[in-house]
Amino acid sequence: MYKFKKLFQPIKIGTMELKNRIAFGEQAPQASHGYITQATEDFYVERAQGGCGLVMVGGICPDISGWGTESMARIDDDKYIPLLARMGKRMREVAPDVKIGIQIMHEGRAMRPDEAGAAKNLKPVAPSPVKFKFGVVPHELTVAEIKHLENQFVAAAVRVKNAGYDCVEIHGAHGYLIGSFMSPYTNRRTDEYGGSIENCARFACEIIRGIKEKCGKDFPLLIKVNALDRLDKKEAPVQLTPDIITAIAPYLEKAGVDEIHLSGGTHEAPMWSAVGPYYVPKAAFAGYAAQVKSSVKIPVGVINRINDPVLADELIIEGKVDLVWMMRPLVADPELPKKAEEGRLDEIRTCIACNTCHDILCQGWFHETRCAVNPDAWREGVSHLEPSLRKKNVLIVGGGPAGMEAARISALIGHNITLWEKDNKLGGLLNLAAIPPLKGEIMSIPRYYTSQFKKLGVKVELNKEATPALVKQLKPDVIIIASGSSTFFPPIPGIDKSLVVDARKVLEGSAKVGNNVVVIGGGEVGIETAEFLGTQGKKVTLVEILPTIGELMVRDVIDYVIDQLVQHKVEILTGTKVEEITGDGIVVSNKDQQKRVIKTDNVIIATGAKPDKTVQNALQGLAREVYLAGDCLVPSNIRVAVHQGNMTARMLY
Ligand SMILES: Cc1cc2nc3c(=O)[nH]c(=O)nc-3n(C[C@H](O)[C@H](O)[C@H](O)COP(=O)(O)O)c2cc1C
């Protein structure tokens, strides 16, 4: 068993002592008209009792000019204090030894006034009128306006203190207002707020000094900054670098800040968003944090893709950072700190960095944020389970994500659970989803469920087909069928030819294909199959009938996979219909009805999935209650499958 050396040691940030070195933060709270919602309160209370040392409530807006969307929380008026205070009080009640804080965040030029959910009639503001790639040219702040905004940050910090929190943070990362002053890409000013390092740090420093003056020197103040912007060098030849932030850090320290933690990337950065998807290396900013740490004496932390407590411990042992920040990993499993400290590492539900959580938020809808692996996230207040008063024998058919989650929840309610999986391992389609490059972490999902099944006494039987005879022997009260889906083969002439192969078989390795292949279907499976084959040096053509590929994929991921396809020279044909599959290729037509013949060794079908009704038809009527969950009901993604498994099992009270 791994023995933690540093992670669970206390650390001091200014006058505040954290019980350990795991900080949760920062997740923009969901709000209604600026007021945090009940769901936000329940979400943070759950995080507080999970065992981390500090809970930093995510970005709350100090001024109307930075109110990115109507569902962003505000703190520019005392009327917002009571709800924030109540949330803090509840956090303290459940976890008296956890420290709590609020991050103040002004979106600056990154506001997108035309997006759905955006606050109306607001003009983004910034140090300089540099157009935001996905928005507009912001208003260049005058010095008087800068001073006004500094005062707004200070007033917001005073409200944080008055609401009873232990500390306050200012958001200086990700290209938002404070960060945009630090980056030479967005700060082109020639007055005292631009040019030199000292001038670029001035806005942050004046806010820090103002907060210290009004809240008191002993009220801890933290800042999140970018190590680098990661913008396209052609579009932004001059931008924020680790050297610049290392030079800025001592000014922040001198102004009075008590901790700095490093992030990176902005909304304009290609691929590597500030919320690193699965393809971003873990702890990618830790080296830069170490560089910044060498220039200051205050504690330095790091965030992004640190989903493993052992890695977190190692970063501190190596002296790269003093503490570690985790956001998505504690959304996926708020109890990660507790489980790690108690040596229950295999029980941690690991964040797979699929960025489902970020996707909907980026479209302006804070209230629709969801976690693919933790269906209870943001539903904490309504997800409580009571023990069932009628213990039932439940048979779950299928050990994919829906079946596993259904088994976990029904066991938690108190039923007797048997899970039959026809394969020799749990996971279902997760076993295939984990095969494309860099997606191996998906296998942490079946690992987590395996640990839960042991703990909850779920009887798992592998290599077991659910035949009517076997089910009759078992006599379950309830059957939850989660038997999955099969590939949908569209009615294209020639689809039955021998060169046609199911994409699933290609990924699992049971079908070998030639060196020149066509993949039909530009959804997630088709794209990842093309990428997978491209990495093997095969010549791949990807054909999609819609005008774009990856239509339903997470936006942070699609840019990356398209880049991978380009790198592997995959030819992408969109708006292209497959008219016919011949003995040695396909005939396609484009939107102008022009036909083209593509010679190929194999045609790989990735045109979606259809529910597998075989088990359902065979087992109908063999138990008092029969339910369907996951792909055998509606083929979809991991999130939908896990959520359906969860909701279905909740029917069994
Ligand atoms: C849904 C969502 C909301 C976020 N809101 C904020 C925020 O309000 N303030 C902030 O500094 N970062 C915010 N972030 C970024 C995270 O704090 C963090 O920097 C990022 O997710 C990478 O860290 P992680 O791998 O630990 O999640 C948000 C990220 C997500 C996914």
Alpha-carbon separation of residue 250 from 212, 254, 262, 265, 530 (angstroms): 16, 6, 14, 22, 48
If you count DSSP H runs as helices and E runs as strands, how many of each does the chain have, helices first?
Answer: 20, 29
Per-residue confidence (pLDDT) for residue 363, from 0 to 100: 67
Strands 595-599 and 585-589, sheet pairing: antiparallel
Q: Give residue ranges with CB within 6 A of ligand 1.
A: 25-28, 58-59, 103, 105, 171, 173, 224, 263, 274-276, 303-305, 326-329, 357-358, 361, 369
Let me know: does 430 contact 401? Beta carbons within 8 Å: yes
pTM of the model: 0.95
Could you give the CA distance from residue 343 to residue 12 in angstroms, rounded to a whole number? 25
Could you give the CA distance from residue 14 to residue 5 in angstroms, rounded to a whole number? 23
SS3 category, 312: helix
Domain 11-381 belongs to what topology?
Answer: TIM Barrel (3.20.20)
Per-residue confidence (pLDDT) for residue 122, from 0 to 100: 87
Distance 583 CA to ligand 1 centre (A): 51
Could you give the CA distance from residue 226 to residue 295 in angstroms, rounded to a whole number? 15
- Is 593 exposed, middle or buried (CB count within 10 Å of its CB: 0-12, 13-18, 19+)? exposed
> What letter would DSSP give residue 447?
H
- E strands within 105-164? 125-126, 139-140
Q: Which portions of the chain are predicted below pLDDT 70?
A: 272, 363-368
* Mutation pick for ligand 1 pocket among 26, 178, 311, 556 (CB with most ligand atoms within 8 Å): 26
Q: What letter represents residue 107's amino acid?
A: E
Find the catalytic residue in 44, 80, 176, 448: 176
For the chain, give the longest Cα–Cα distance.
82
Residues 619-639, buried b or exposed e (16+ Cβ, 10 A)?
beebbeebbbbbbbbebbbbb
Range list for CATH 3.50.50.60 in the chain: 500-607
- Is 612 exposed, middle or buried (CB count within 10 Å of its CB: 0-12, 13-18, 19+)? middle
2 is catalytic: no
Per-residue confidence (pLDDT) for residue 115, from 0 to 100: 77
CATH superfamily placement of domain 500-607: FAD/NAD(P)-binding domain (3.50.50.60)
Distance 25 CA to ligand 1 centre (A): 7
| CATH 3.40.50.300 corresponds to the domain 387-487+611-652 | no
* 331 CA closest ligand 1 atom index: 27
Range list for CATH 3.40.50.720 in the chain: 387-487+611-652
The torsion region of residue 174 among left (phi > 0), alpha (psi -120 to 50) and beta comes to left
Alpha-carbon separation of residue 222 from 14, 157, 391 (angstroms): 9, 11, 50
Distance 359 CA to ligand 1 centre (A): 12
Per-residue confidence (pLDDT) for residue 366, from 0 to 100: 62
Distance 616 CA to ligand 1 centre (A): 41
Range list for CATH 3.20.20.70 in the chain: 11-381
> What letter would DSSP give residue 31?
E
